[in-house]
A and B are shown apart, each in its own frame.
Chain A
């Protein structure tokens, strides 16, 4: 190899390392967590500028032809570390854009605009970063000790860049393949449902902005140490689109895809076009390059939206339920009882196999303990005091929507172990009542008493953690998570379900994960859906989605379920199966309040039944009682 060829190869290797790191960061934000950051390039720029001004000597000592802040002449590796840190920190002010309130596409536009404007600011403001001319003569790492032009130095720099790329790959893989990564993907697929399952959307998105920003900053630091200059022209907003093209083409959400995309698009595509002999007026080839990038994005989004190397399906499998041996570090055997949703079912008496259940209501624990002891469902005995038996009580609940009384003073009681039905014509206020009970919407007046505690002021996710869990009227499965993952995403208290926990690695959370998998397998077995464990949520039939949703709610270890039309749009045979499952659950001690339209369902499964019309409770009792009442028949049953 001639030395020119050799240096060309180094050039390619270093650019590959830089682009791989940048694409991995972007893929983590966009493909895994669903945060569309059209301003990604500013984080790379922040890293490059930081590395530059940390490694440059003071501006007056540097010929004084450039004007910049800092200039501390810091030795390697401080500038590179600074680049990473600043890249991450710069992300923090933008977290307000990706919070709960702003639609994802608005936030993306906000970030795009920010990228354009920051570039404009830096271009026009010379004192800080030398304006449009940019910074030049940026020192290469250790250039005092070694000659950056030597072949040996270039070998080491290329290897270093690629090693850092490997490190970045291992980092994002560790985060993504953890329970926390699953929560990120759940947020990507349906953020509102992830929210209702107790995921903190703002914290998750902020963490991904910072992680991706740090990787972008690192890539900028490596790049500026090699090319020795950095200016606003290097980070136009369109550069972000190139990286997006790379991630989309490689495979959004897939880390091997991000690597492939980085090699194909920013490195391969731009290098390949060098060999096109220039034709037409000056600049034409560059223009056509941009057109081609645009076309590539459209073509891939249309013909192969999953990319060349799609996100792989995480196969966990249904396993052989109901009793499983799970290998932990201490070879503990985790036994799964018939009580997959109960927090202490798997761990009762098994020592360290399962961590102590989160603080729970005494009642739920008693039920669980009974079952763990092998009691048959029919052995559930009524507690001594009748009042203990009321799980949920609504006291004079009122909800006004701008003068309309959607719910006008409803008082109901739901008793333990019942499958209580809630019927009524359209507009009766059933779903509104359910939403108030779950905390999805606030009350105008009245109280919600759960296990004797006033929970009226608690937000939905806090009530969910107390065991009061709802499902939604519309299907809400996570489409690109398997059924198994849909279930696992709801398991509470997994140590790996935080960025810190994920970073500590599999050993730290494998037991929690194994326990959650066992519970999920038992549920799948019970609902006869084991064969679908590795099917994507998006590929399920309507009825299977409903079952998945109910199972997912059960994974949160609820003491009481609020179901909003769980059988709507489901084949009648499957609806009856669902009803059967619900009855079984109730027989085992679960309490369920279910909104339903279908009278046949009510007849068969629900007792008692609460009948609402025009915002108030008209009657309650068994269906036979209700049919005997003239006003009820008038309001609903014949109509």
Chain B
């Protein structure tokens, strides 16, 4: 198998993990107006919930569900106790970002205080090696790709074909107008935190599975990659984030194969800065969700 195909396969897996995380992040930002930098911390905290369940002897894929639930509940509470009070006071967007950075420290290092500074791994089998279309990946990696496709399809159906999705799009486009049209925006915002929190929890666990071993601060760097995918597609745009995830996922892994793995994330970084400088609205331009 060629080097290109091998790195392409890894790229697809990275893109799959990234897509779940980036779509969750970007929908959260679009509807709630919070650029939540604590997203990475919530991801890894959820992954540790799955780890706890996994340590109790439960299969990690069932643990994934507990992580989704934990991410969902955690995000709703984070919003209710922290972000909403600040927003009600009319805090500027930049203040909200600083608040979310403060929450990052609290969640990440609070978690590290509990679980300790050493990395852990899920107890699971990587499954047999599977060959498909010239790619050689483990069964787990194929499951991750499949899971991501299912999640993307779910998001698509949610946004395009459900009343809730329509209300979310309306809220993101213009919250006060949506409220005047009879949409209960507060409830939509809370629901969005629940849904995107679940995506965040799933992303965290899948990220942890894919990385092999993880610790409380493992998501710091991945958050940067998520931001790159989000800004490439245009902040707040779900489909843009999907495209961004595929581009960044493939670009980082293929460059890792041809340049050196230590610099693979630097590619994501370069993409992010170039996008900010050249086209702050993202590839798709400015449209809502």
Chain B residues with CB under 8 Å of A105's CB are 35, 93-94, 96-97
The smallest beta-carbon distance between A261 and chain B, in angstroms, is 14
Q: Tell me which of A121, A282, A294, A301 contacts B109 (CB under 8 A).
A: A294
Question: Do residues A102 and B224 form an inter-chain contact, with CB atoms below 8 A?
Answer: no
Give a binary string over A102-120; 1 marks a CB under 8 Å from any B CB, 0 the rest: 1111111110111011001
Question: Do residues A110 and B110 form an inter-chain contact, with CB atoms below 8 A?
Answer: no
Chain B residues with CB under 8 Å of A290's CB are 105, 108-109
Question: Do residues B280 and A106 form an inter-chain contact, with CB atoms below 8 A?
Answer: yes
Bound Cα distance A289, B97 (Å): 21
Chain A residues with CB under 8 Å of B82's CB are 298
The smallest beta-carbon distance between B98 and chain A, in angstroms, is 7
Q: Which of B216-262 contact A (CB under 8 A)?
A: 220-221, 224, 227-228, 231, 235, 262
Bound Cα distance A107, B269 (Å): 14
Closest A-B pairs by Cβ, 8 of them: A294-B105, A290-B109, A124-B262, A297-B102, A117-B269, A294-B106, A287-B113, A294-B102
Smallest CB-CB separation from A284: which chain B residue?
B113
Bound Cα distance A124, B113 (Å): 28
Bound Cα distance A294, B38 (Å): 12
Most buried by A among B93, B96, B101, B108: B101
The smallest beta-carbon distance between B262 and chain A, in angstroms, is 4
Question: Do residues A113 and B109 form an inter-chain contact, with CB atoms below 8 A?
Answer: no
- Say if the beta carbon of A295 comes within 8 Å of chain B: yes
Give a binary string over A297-320; 1 marks a CB under 8 Å from any B CB, 0 the rest: 110011001000000000000000
Question: Do residues A97 and B276 form an inter-chain contact, with CB atoms below 8 A?
Answer: yes
Bound Cα distance A179, B159 (Å): 51
- Say if the beta carbon of A241 comes within 8 Å of chain B: yes
Give a binary string over B85-108; 1 marks a CB under 8 Å from any A CB, 0 the rest: 110000101111111011111101
The smallest beta-carbon distance between A253 and chain B, in angstroms, is 14
Smallest CB-CB separation from A242: which chain B residue?
B105
Q: Taking A116-B220, A120-B221 as contacts, is the C-beta distance between A301 and B99 under 8 angstroms? A: yes
- Say if the beta carbon of A281 comes within 8 Å of chain B: yes
The smallest beta-carbon distance between A225 and chain B, in angstroms, is 30
The smallest beta-carbon distance between A292 and chain B, in angstroms, is 9
- Give 21 CB contacts A-B under 8 Å: A36-B97, A104-B93, A105-B94, A105-B96, A106-B280, A109-B37, A112-B37, A120-B265, A121-B263, A238-B105, A282-B117, A287-B113, A290-B108, A291-B106, A291-B110, A293-B102, A294-B101, A294-B102, A294-B104, A301-B95, A301-B99
Bound Cα distance A106, B109 (Å): 25
A interface residues, tally (CB under 8 Å):
45
- Say if the beta carbon of A244 comes within 8 Å of chain B: yes
- Say if the beta carbon of A324 comes within 8 Å of chain B: no
- Say if the beta carbon of B19 comes within 8 Å of chain A: no
The smallest beta-carbon distance between A242 and chain B, in angstroms, is 9
Question: Do residues A117 and B266 form an inter-chain contact, with CB atoms below 8 A?
Answer: yes
Question: Do residues B116 and A281 form an inter-chain contact, with CB atoms below 8 A?
Answer: yes
Q: Tell me which of A107, A116, A248 contacts B276 (CB under 8 A).
A: A107
Bound Cα distance A96, B60 (Å): 45
- Say if the beta carbon of A101 comes within 8 Å of chain B: yes
Q: Taking A102-B276, A120-B221 as contacts, is the C-beta distance between A297 and B98 under 8 angstroms? A: yes
B interface residues, tally (CB under 8 Å):
43
Majority SS of interface residues in chain A? helix
The smallest beta-carbon distance between A600 and chain B, in angstroms, is 29
- Say if the beta carbon of B112 comes within 8 Å of chain A: yes
Question: Do residues A295 and B106 form an inter-chain contact, with CB atoms below 8 A?
Answer: yes
- Say if the beta carbon of B273 comes within 8 Å of chain A: yes
Chain A residues with CB under 8 Å of B97's CB are 36, 105, 108-109
Q: Taking A103-B280, A109-B35, A121-B263 as contacts, is the C-beta distance between A283 and B116 under 8 angstroms? A: yes
- Say if the beta carbon of B272 comes within 8 Å of chain A: yes
Q: Taking A105-B93, A124-B263 as contacts, is the C-beta distance between A117 and B224 under 8 angstroms? A: yes
The smallest beta-carbon distance between A301 and chain B, in angstroms, is 6
Smallest CB-CB separation from B101: which chain A residue?
A241
Q: Taking A104-B94, A120-B266, A298-B82 as contacts, is the C-beta distance between A114 and B109 under 8 angstroms? A: no
- Say if the beta carbon of B277 comes within 8 Å of chain A: yes
Q: Which of A110-142 contact B (CB under 8 A)?
A: 110, 112-114, 116-117, 120-121, 124
Bound Cα distance A169, B272 (Å): 36
- Say if the beta carbon of A192 comes within 8 Å of chain B: no
Chain B residues with CB under 8 Å of A293's CB are 102, 105
Question: Do residues B227 and A109 form an inter-chain contact, with CB atoms below 8 A?
Answer: yes
Smallest CB-CB separation from A110: which chain B residue?
B276
Question: Do residues B113 and A113 form an inter-chain contact, with CB atoms below 8 A?
Answer: no
Give a binary string over B17-36; 1 marks a CB under 8 Å from any A CB, 0 the rest: 00000000000000000010
Question: Do residues B86 and A301 form an inter-chain contact, with CB atoms below 8 A?
Answer: yes
Chain A residues with CB under 8 Å of B102's CB are 241, 293-295, 297-298, 301
Question: Do residues B265 and A117 form an inter-chain contact, with CB atoms below 8 A?
Answer: yes
Bound Cα distance A471, B233 (Å): 36
Chain A residues with CB under 8 Å of B277's CB are 96-97
Smallest CB-CB separation from A94: which chain B residue?
B273
The smallest beta-carbon distance between A109 and chain B, in angstroms, is 6
Q: Tell me which of B91, B110, B263, B266 contacts A287 (CB under 8 A).
A: B110
- Say if the beta carbon of A288 comes within 8 Å of chain B: yes
